Structure 1
Amino acid sequence: MRTGLAPLADGGSLAYTLRGDGPPLVLISGLGGLASFWNAFAEICAPYFQVVTYDHRGVGGSSVLEGPTSIDAMRADLTGLLDHLGIASAAILGHSTGGAIAQNLALAQPERITRLVLSATFARPCAYMRRLFAGRIELLDKLGIDAYRRHAVTLLNAPYWLDANDAVVEAELQAAAARSKPTDAAVVRERMLAVLGHDAQDRLAEIACPVRVVVAADDIVTPAYLSQRLADGIPQAELAVLPRGGHYAMRAEPERYRDAVLDFLRGRSSAAGTRT
């Protein structure tokens, strides 16, 4: 495993991690934006790919986020990272907010993506998502970052997984509180506003690469019907609906998640891809 810091054109930088050798695979994290989100799955992929993970701007070891951001800006940061690493094109897996970034890249620079997995994500926030995120922003503003994080774990993790792993989640919350920065709440707020500003629904037909859309049936953050809309709108898309797993299906159902995406990313056919 190798780590580095990629300079960006505007003076910012992104902290990144590389694992394995082979064709490049970029794993884009969701709202939390940490490269470490992918640690377990990146190890699964490393025998087949050079796996790239990174901290988004304002998060972890990357440079600070100053003011508002957008999915466009997050895609520009990713492009800067790819340029720094000398990666002309790669397989891309974007989860949730990362899926919005991946869609943006597929539309702005289609030549940079060989195969695309859109994981628990959306093309346009629906009324449910807008109300959910408005509530999360209100909670953040009124009760602070620690209360926001405690609430988030009940949304993101499948209930049955959380019941069996409550001590793990509590340790993660304590670690997040220990490394918390004064700017964290502002960064999370701006990133949620960026999520609400993403809208690629009317351009989905322009995405020309092979796409696997994957979601768990019990996801309550980006409900499965949003993945259905993605699959319906993208010409070469296949939809894989996992029977359960919540928003973090790669954590709750690692084998099912692996089977739904890894063979596809390697260019192989898989029975996991079912359009419903």
Structure 2
Amino acid sequence: MKTELAPLADGGTLAYTIRGEGPPLVLISGLGGLASFWNAFAEVCASHFQVVTYDHRGVGGSSALDGPTSIAAMRQDLTGLLDHLGIASAAVLGHSTGGAIAQNLALAQPERVSRLVLSATFARPCGYMRRLFAGRIDLLDRLGIDAYRRHAVTLLNAPYWLAANDAVVEAELEAELEAAATRSKPADAAVVRERMLAVLGHDAEGELAQISCPVRVVVAADDIVTPAYLSQRLTDAIPQAELKVLPRGGHYAMRAESDLYRDAVLDFLRGGSSAAETRT
């Protein structure tokens, strides 16, 4: 496995990795936008799929983000990557912000999505999400990117898992902050800010009935970033959708409850389905 660069029509590039062989599966990460978010889960999937992960524009090894962005713009970048790889259609799993991008792709180019997993995501930010993200933006503006990253750890990870893995998480955070110290903190903060504004601007609620491919919606019951009722709304609005609610796991259930998350997602991506809503 190695990272390569895909050229985009506007002159930008996306850094991407490919693992495994088989039908294509695209994993779209959330607000952080890093391909490495999926490392552990991508290895699991690589036994069954050709797994594509990528750094979003402005993040990691991809080209810089200059100015405002949107979920539609992020989808256009993904389309450019798929074109570069010659992938006409793929199974797609989008987590959180990545789920918004996946919705946009399924609506704008339905022929490119064979099966869709919407993980801990939303059709439109509710009042709770708007307050949460407004607070995160305010924290970023007032205290800077390092404080923002420290605060994010407590939002994204389930409390029980964070308590049990605190030393590991702290070491990862310190490594992230050390790596970030070599970059421009104002530039990093600007990218995060623009991406949060893009999240707040996402609204696919009135179009979801047009999604025609099989869809599984997955969320943990204790997710406090994109609460489970937002996944219920997605499921209610998409004709071919079914809901899988994990009993716990927080916003990063693929880490806190990796086996439950794998079981909720992998069988569906390989073609399994149930007609009714399921709850584990």
TM band (smaller chain): over 0.9
Aligned residue number for residue 48 of structure 2: 48
Per-residue Cα deviation, 1:125-148 (whole angstroms, up to 9, x for no partner): 000000000000000000000000
Q: Is the 8 A contact 2:120 2:251 kept in 1?
A: yes
* In 2: Cα distance, 1:118 partner to 1:220 partner: 16
Structure 1 position 272, deviation (Å): 10
Map 1:93-112 → 2, pairs under 5 A = 93-112=93-112
Aligned residue number for residue 225 of structure 1: 229
Map 1:1-276 → 2, pairs under 5 A = 1-180=1-180, 181-182=183-184, 183-269=187-273, 274=278
* In 2: Cα distance, 1:144 partner to 1:275 partner: 40
For structure 2, the residue ranges without an aligned partner over 5 or more in a row are none
Moved over 4 A (4+): 270-273
Q: Is the 8 A contact 1:260 1:270 kept in 2?
A: no
Which amino acid counterpart does residue 115 of structure 1 have in structure 2? Answer: R
* In 1: Cα distance, 2:48 partner to 2:220 partner: 25
Between stretches 263-272 and 227-236, larger displacement belongs to: 263-272
* In 2: Cα distance, 1:44 partner to 1:270 partner: 22
Structure 1 position 167, deviation (Å): 1.2
Structure 1 position 275, deviation (Å): 6.9
Structure 1 position 232, deviation (Å): 0.1
TM-score, length of structure 2 as denominator length: 0.97
* In 2: Cα distance, 1:273 partner to 1:153 partner: 31
Is the alpha carbon distance of 1:167 and 1:273 closer, same or farther for their aligned partners in structure 2, counting shifts above 3 Å? farther
For structure 1, the residue ranges without an aligned partner over 5 or more in a row are none
TM-score, length of structure 1 as denominator length: 0.98
SS state of the match for residue 278, structure 2?
A: coil
Q: Is the 8 A contact 2:242 2:274 kept in 1?
A: no
Q: Is the 8 A contact 1:263 1:270 kept in 2?
A: no
Q: Is the 8 A contact 1:240 1:272 kept in 2?
A: no
Structure 1 position 173, deviation (Å): 1.2
Which amino acid counterpart does residue 242 of structure 1 have in structure 2? Answer: L
Structure 1 position 269, deviation (Å): 3.3
Which amino acid counterpart does residue 154 of structure 1 have in structure 2? Answer: T
- State the Cα RMSD in Å: 1.4
Between stretches 222-231 and 168-177, larger displacement belongs to: 168-177
- How many residues align? The count is 276
Is the alpha carbon distance of 1:259 and 1:273 closer, same or farther for their aligned partners in structure 2, counting shifts above 3 Å? farther
Per-residue Cα deviation, 1:142-199 (whole angstroms, up to 9, x for no partner): 0000000010000000001100111111112112112212111000000000000000
Q: Is the 8 A contact 1:216 1:247 kept in 2?
A: yes
Per-residue Cα deviation, 1:238-274 (whole angstroms, up to 9, x for no partner): 0000000000000000000000000000002369951
Is the alpha carbon distance of 1:173 and 1:113 closer, same or farther for their aligned partners in structure 2, counting shifts above 3 Å? same
Is the alpha carbon distance of 1:129 and 1:196 closer, same or farther for their aligned partners in structure 2, counting shifts above 3 Å? same
Between stretches 176-185 and 196-205, larger displacement belongs to: 176-185
Q: Is the 8 A contact 2:246 2:279 kept in 1?
A: no
Structure 1 position 3, deviation (Å): 2.2
